């Protein structure tokens, strides 16, 4: 560990895989900078990466093994895990146990877990949370190319003349890739088309936005291919030499492919659709980038193949600036795919064909090889529920929140005879069901490799020492394997030992049939591994027109648009789910950052203003969103970016942070038939207003208690020096007072207006404030939050503002420079700012990580309307 010297490592959030220089600056603190030498980001970082340093202290960490809620030592915990798994296997067979792992694991962790389950336990029952985000892309690649190879790289973004983003809010979810595309647009005039039912910030600056009906993507892409055929763009020579075309394929493409029919199916204007076709036709160098909007669908694999069909048939693949590009959500989803961490793959891009099982068995000297795929995530937890799986080990993920129909997953875990959870955090929704909890290393302490969306393998290096008794995941798994009787096969001393073996397996008896081949790293020495620079395997996949199928030809796949469901009488809306810009997964890490929390402080349900008015919902109301699976509360946000009849909720909130916002309770556990990926994007739903009699906020100094205040609506965010709770409820509000700490109290109450304001002072400093109203307005929170750090209590505390007027800056838009909406709107009006660059010059907003630049563009476009809205609220 190099105290004080920058360590080159990789961002742990999204699949862009940005390089970071992390410098320890004292006890458990890091200075974070983008790594200018990393090809993925060339020094840039988005808001999440920029604020990683706020998430590395020990708050909330699991630091010791726990058995039945009590601290235990490693020997006891590991012995118990090994014994219970061995006993279960002996009594009920190999398929009675399972591992549920994560795209947060490093490749070395993943490799050891996969080897233990598939080569030694002898079951395919290891699946990963990547099943939930990109397994349809995996299935689509295998169907088309014969191997799960992403045929694009970020270099293609510098070469393309047209970007088609489909089902991808890239500006929020993959900001650095979005910025690279924007740079190409500025430099070379490349065009941007966004296809998304929602008008997201990614659409703000696009040349064309097609807000298609959810689930109509196959019709859209088949229509595009039919247009290409009619326009003579299908590359007949390439098709003849390199593609295998199923019988009836072109008839299928021709059916219902006229402009009017496609426009009707997709519910877009025919002239806009034609514009899309013409832009596509005019720009052979096209990168079509897709992510969750395509993958998380009940026909996700067909949607992927409909995109790939167009690229294959027009020869837009294997050339600079032309490729379909599945961009992954998690930092190491791709590494997991490479080792075979999905239940449907075996190892090193091999499937369960008997020859592959024999090959891998030989390589591992495995005593008991799995011979068939295991259970995919949804089926795995169903097997737990039905008692077929009797012992499960969950690593680095939170299925009690993130799985569809999450309450059923909770019931399954509660009933499972033996649950092991290895995690960095002490209190997760899933960890509450664990019989054994094992303390795992977190990002800043982990050492190994990750693979990003463009197949680039980068080192993740430990920057901080392992705290408490935490251990790397690979070490925990190998210790359990040793106790189950396989010490020799798992005798790894360091991540480099595992990486070498992984590289050797990729090359083992690989005569070129598998593109994934790390032969050049098969004998990498420890110093070389330590110093390894980021490198991309497979230079330009499929450049020569040869694919990983037995005959070397890619396959066009018959994809038929499924009938689109009409709104149901009892469930008239369609629920879509997704991410926020500044949060990651279930907020166990980003939730620790006060700056990231300010972008979106509560879980919102976004609804078209027409629907909101029709249903009696106003901005800021609390509403119940219900589906056939479950229900949860959300704060209402009307948004004209939503199509009528559709609502959107974020995936991040858990029981830890909110009494509502539990999106995971809402989707159906229905999956794509090929990939097993759940269809998170289109659940029948309804919404209704929930009447509340009072609204309040509570600011507490210090760390958050484990529970939430007693209120119908209670959400929590981290703020500098403490916690901010937003609250709402009905009836008596006195129970909230129990949440105030001991200390001298100042109180002001107006019973006529139902207002209470309480401040608690501990010595000279503010310990808490509770502001509540039944009829009036609550003051802004910023000044009161700042008082947590003030050396003395301000005399105007109960007024909620500093002596004299302090302008409320509104919700934070630029988290890097802490600049709010009202400040930006005022500057636009007063200084006549005309573009995003001018806002940057005036305020600094958007000049650091750049994540807020699409939001600034939107504020500029809407500035008149925004000003009016703010004044109306005042």
Q: Which residues bind ligand SF4 (CB under 6 A)?
A: 11, 13-14, 16-18, 41, 45-46, 48-49, 174-176
Give the residue ranges of DSSP H helices in 47-150.
47-50, 74-92, 107-115, 135-145
Tokens matching residue 638: 């009307």
Minimum CB separation of residue 157 from ligand SF4 in Å reads 13
- Smaller CB separation from ligand SF4, 429 or 454: 454
Nearest to 113 by CA among 69, 71, 88, 81: 81
Cross-strand pairs, 330: none
Task: Give CA–CA dist 160/430, Å, rounded.
Answer: 43
Minimum CB separation of residue 756 from ligand SF4 in Å reads 41
Minimum CB separation of residue 20 from ligand SF4 in Å reads 8
- Smaller CB separation from ligand SF4, 329 or 431: 329
- Smaller CB separation from ligand SF4, 35 or 808: 35
Q: Report angle CA 90, 95, 97 to the nearest 5 degrees.
A: 75
- Smaller CB separation from ligand SF4, 368 or 579: 579
Minimum CB separation of residue 566 from ligand SF4 in Å reads 38
- 3 state DSSP class of 666: coil
Task: Give CA–CA dist 122/96, Å, rounded.
Answer: 11
Task: Give CA–CA dist 145/139, Å, rounded.
Answer: 10
Minimum CB separation of residue 852 from ligand SF4 in Å reads 13
Nearest to 773 by CA among 758, 797, 752, 756: 756
Query: Which strand (E) or helix (H) includes residue 421?
Result: strand 418-423
Positive or negative, the Cα torsion across 829, 830, 833, 834?
positive
Tokens matching residue 473: 């995941």
Minimum CB separation of residue 434 from ligand SF4 in Å reads 28
Minimum CB separation of residue 300 from ligand SF4 in Å reads 22
- Smaller CB separation from ligand SF4, 175 or 661: 175
- 3 state DSSP class of 685: strand
- Smaller CB separation from ligand SF4, 18 or 394: 18
Per-residue burial over 356-367, b if 16 or more Cβ lie within 10 Å, else e, is: bbebbbebbebe
Minimum CB separation of residue 172 from ligand SF4 in Å reads 10
Q: Which residues contact 833 (CB under 8 A, 6 or more apart)?
A: 827, 839, 842, 860
Minimum CB separation of residue 367 from ligand SF4 in Å reads 39
- Smaller CB separation from ligand SF4, 16 or 184: 16
Minimum CB separation of residue 11 from ligand SF4 in Å reads 3
Minimum CB separation of residue 288 from ligand SF4 in Å reads 20
- Smaller CB separation from ligand SF4, 443 or 694: 443
- Smaller CB separation from ligand SF4, 453 or 787: 453
Query: Which strand (E) or helix (H) includes residue 359?
Result: helix 354-364
- Smaller CB separation from ligand SF4, 11 or 348: 11
- Smaller CB separation from ligand SF4, 280 or 325: 325
**DSSP state, residue 558:** -
Contact of 860 with 828, CB cutoff 8 Å: yes
Minimum CB separation of residue 686 from ligand SF4 in Å reads 34
Per-residue burial over 318-329, b if 16 or more Cβ lie within 10 Å, else e, is: bbebbbbbbbbb
- Smaller CB separation from ligand SF4, 460 or 773: 460
The side-by-side arrangement of strands in the sheet containing 418-423 is 70-71, 66-67, 436-439, 418-423, 391-395, 97-101, 126-128
| Cβ neighbourhood burial of 423 (10 Å; 0-12, 13-18, 19+) | buried
What are the φ and ψ backbone dihedral angles of 194, each rounded to 5 degrees?
-115, 125
Minimum CB separation of residue 642 from ligand SF4 in Å reads 25
Task: Give CA–CA dist 423/494, Å, rounded.
Answer: 20
Task: Give CA–CA dist 495/640, Å, rounded.
Answer: 50
First to last CA, the chain: 53
- Smaller CB separation from ligand SF4, 176 or 605: 176
Which residue reads 């499972």 in tokens? Answer: 416
- DSSP line for 483-531: IIIITGGG--SSHHHHHHHHHHHHHTT-SSSSS---GGGTT--HHHHHT
Minimum CB separation of residue 48 from ligand SF4 in Å reads 4
Task: Give CA–CA dist 842/851, Å, rounded.
Answer: 17
- Size of the chain, expressed as the number of residues it contains: 874
Task: Give CA–CA dist 766/746, Å, rounded.
Answer: 11
- Smaller CB separation from ligand SF4, 505 or 845: 845
- Smaller CB separation from ligand SF4, 38 or 316: 38
- Smaller CB separation from ligand SF4, 16 or 855: 16
Contact of 327 with 291, CB cutoff 8 Å: yes
- Would you tell me how many other CB atoms lie within 10 Å of the CB of residue 618? 11
Minimum CB separation of residue 54 from ligand SF4 in Å reads 14
Task: Give CA–CA dist 352/343, Å, rounded.
Answer: 10
744-750 and 191-195 beta bridge pairing = unpaired
- Smaller CB separation from ligand SF4, 89 or 289: 289
- Smaller CB separation from ligand SF4, 170 or 675: 170
Minimum CB separation of residue 523 from ligand SF4 in Å reads 30
Q: Give residue 670's Cα distance to chain centre.
A: 20
Minimum CB separation of residue 19 from ligand SF4 in Å reads 9
Residue nearest to ligand SF4 (CB): 49
Minimum CB separation of residue 178 from ligand SF4 in Å reads 8
Task: Give CA–CA dist 502/109, Å, rounded.
Answer: 11
Give the residue ranges of DSSP H helices in 515-593.
526-530
Task: Give CA–CA dist 808/159, Å, rounded.
Answer: 45
């Amino acid at each position: 560990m190099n105290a004080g010297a920058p360590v080159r490592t990789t961002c742990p959030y999204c699949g862009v895989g940005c390089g970071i220089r992390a410098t320890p600056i004292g006890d458990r603190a890091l200075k974070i900078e983008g790594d200018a030498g990393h090809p993925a980001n060339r020094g840039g970082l988005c808001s999440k990466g920029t604020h990683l340093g706020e998430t590395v202290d020990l708050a909330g960490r699991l630091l010791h093994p726990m058995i039945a809620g009590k601290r235990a030592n490693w020997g006891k915990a590991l012995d118990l895990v090994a014994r219970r798994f061995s006993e279960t296997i002996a009594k009920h067979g190999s398929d009675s146990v399972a591992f549920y792992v994560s795209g947060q694991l490093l490749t070395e962790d993943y490799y050891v877990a996969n080897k233990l389950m598939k080569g030694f336990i002898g079951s395919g029952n290891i699946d990963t949370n990547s099943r939930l985000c990109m397994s349809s892309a995996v299935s689509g690649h295998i169907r088309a190319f014969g191997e799960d190879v992403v045929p694009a790289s970020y270099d293609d973004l510098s070469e393309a003349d047209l970007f088609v983003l489909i089902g991808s809010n890239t500006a929020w979810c993959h900001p650095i890739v979005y910025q690279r595309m924007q740079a190409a647009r500025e430099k070379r005039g490349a065009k941007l088309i966004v296809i998304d039912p929602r008008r997201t910030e990614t659409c703000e600056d696009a040349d064309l936005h097609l807000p298609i009906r959810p689930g109509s993507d196959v019709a859209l892409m088949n229509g595009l291919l039919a247009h290409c055929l009619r326009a003579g763009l299908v590359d007949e020579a390439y098709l003849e030499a390199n593609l295998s075309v199923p019988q009836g394929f072109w008839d299928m493409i021709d059916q219902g492919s006229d402009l009017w029919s496609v426009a009707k199916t997709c519910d877009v204007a025919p002239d806009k659709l034609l514009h899309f076709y013409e832009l596509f036709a005019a720009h052979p160098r096209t990168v079509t980038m897709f992510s969750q909007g395509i993958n998380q669908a009940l026909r996700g694999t067909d949607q992927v193949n409909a995109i790939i069909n167009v690229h294959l048939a027009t020869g837009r693949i294997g050339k600079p600036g032309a490729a379909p590009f599945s961009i992954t959500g998690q930092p190491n989803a791709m590494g997991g795919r490479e080792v075979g961490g999905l239940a449907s793959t075996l190892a090193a891009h091999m499937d369960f064909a008997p020859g592959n099982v024999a090959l891998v068995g030989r390589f591992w000297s495995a005593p008991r090889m799995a011979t068939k795929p295991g259970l995919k995530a949804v089926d795995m937890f169903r097997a737990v529920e039905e008692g077929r799986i009797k012992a499960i080990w969950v690593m680095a993920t939170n299925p009690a929140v993130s799985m569809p129909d999450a309450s059923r997953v909770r019931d399954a875990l509660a009933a499972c005879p033996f649950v092991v959870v290895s995690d960095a955090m002490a209190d997760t929704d899933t960890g509450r069901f664990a019989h054994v909890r094992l303390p795992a290393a977190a990002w800043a302490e982990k050492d190994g490799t990750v693979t990003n969306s463009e197949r680039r393998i980068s080192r993740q290096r430990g920057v901080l020492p392992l705290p408490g008794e935490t251990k790397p995941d690979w070490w925990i798994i190998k210790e359990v394997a040793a106790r189950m009787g396989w010490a020799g096969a798992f005798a790894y001393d360091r991540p480099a030992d595992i990486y070498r073996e992984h590289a050797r397996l990729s090359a083992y008896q690989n005569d070129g049939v598998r593109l994934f081949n790390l032969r050049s790293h098969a004998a990498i020495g420890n110093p070389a591994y330590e110093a390894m620079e980021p490198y991309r395997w497979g230079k330009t996949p499929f450049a020569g027109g040869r694919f990983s199928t037995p005959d070397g030809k890619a396959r066009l796949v018959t994809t038929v648009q499924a009938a689109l469901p009409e709104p149901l009488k009892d469930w008239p809306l369609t629920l879509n789910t997704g991410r926020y810009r500044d949060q990651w997964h279930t907020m166990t890490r980003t939730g620790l950052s006060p700056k990231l929390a300010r972008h979106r402080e509560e879980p919102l349900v976004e609804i078209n203003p027409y629907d909101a008015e029709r249903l009696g919902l106003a901005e800021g109301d609390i509403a119940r969103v219900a589906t056939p699976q479950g229900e949860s509360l959300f704060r209402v946000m009307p948004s004209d970016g939503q199509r009528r009849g559709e609502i959107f909720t974020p995936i991040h909130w858990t029981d830890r942070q909110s009494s509502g916002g539990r999106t995971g309770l809402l989707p159906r556990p229905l999956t794509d038939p090929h990939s097993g990926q759940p269809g998170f994007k289109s659940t029948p739903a309804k919404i209704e207003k929930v009447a509340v009699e009072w609204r309040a906020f509570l600011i507490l100094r210090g760390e958050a208690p484990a529970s939430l205040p007693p209120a119908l609506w209670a959400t929590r965010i981290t703020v500098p020096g403490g916690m901010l709770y937003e609250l709402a409820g009905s009836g008596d509000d006195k129970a909230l007072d129990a949440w105030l700490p001991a200390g001298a109290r100042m109180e002001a109450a107006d019973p006529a207006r139902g207002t209470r304001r309480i401040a608690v002072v501990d010595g000279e400093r503010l310990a808490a404030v509770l502001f509540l109203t039944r009829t009036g307005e609550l003051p802004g929170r910023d000044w009161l939050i700042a008082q947590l750090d003030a050396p003395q209590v301000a005399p105007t505390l109960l007024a909620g503002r500093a002596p004299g007027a302090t302008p409320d800056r509104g919700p934070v838009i630029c988290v890097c420079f802490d600049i709010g909406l009202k400040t930006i709107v005022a500057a636009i009006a007063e200084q006549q700012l005309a573009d995003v660059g001018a806002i940057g010059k005036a305020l600094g907003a958007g000049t650091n990580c750049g994540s807020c630049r699409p939001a600034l563009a939107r504020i500029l476009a809407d500035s008149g309307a925004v000003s009016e809205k703010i004044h109306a609220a005042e």
